[in-house]
Amino acid sequence: VQLVESGGGLVGPGGSLKLSCVYSGFGRSHFPMIWVRQAPEKGLEWVAGITNGGGSEGYSDSVKGRFAISRENTKNTVYLRMNSLRPEDSAVYYCARPRTTDSALTGQKLEILHRGQGTQVTVSS
């Protein structure tokens, strides 16, 4: 199993970025997927999740209304569109496969089965 994130970088406050995550090794199956992030000296924070078919999404309160998660199963890719970025959004962003759909959509009782290497997002003027 492999998950590879890309799209991070340096952006000014109020700017936008779109992260991508290409996954492989799951065969023909698709699973709920999430984005999590980790800022320096902080724990892992659930950001957003999406069901295996893409029909439902969930967001943390800190990003709701600014971020959008989506997926293209034909390309084995999950995206995170981030708008109105703030300095506090700076972190390493990881895509991951959680154990359950409920945890993907709520971030509750989150158990991560697989995670990528991450991509750095820095929001600074």
Give the rounded percent of residues in the chain with a pLDDT score beyond 90.
96
Please, what is the end-to-end C-alpha distance for the chain in angstroms? Answer: 37
Going by pLDDT thresholds of 50, 70 and 90, the confidence category of residue 29 is confident
Cα–Cα dist 60/89, whole Å: 12
Q: In the structure, what pLDDT confidence band is assigned to residue 99 with cuts at 50, 70 and 90?
A: very high
Measured distance CA(92)–CA(30) in Å, rounded: 24
pLDDT beyond 90 at 52: yes
pLDDT tens track for 68-80:
999 999 999 999 9
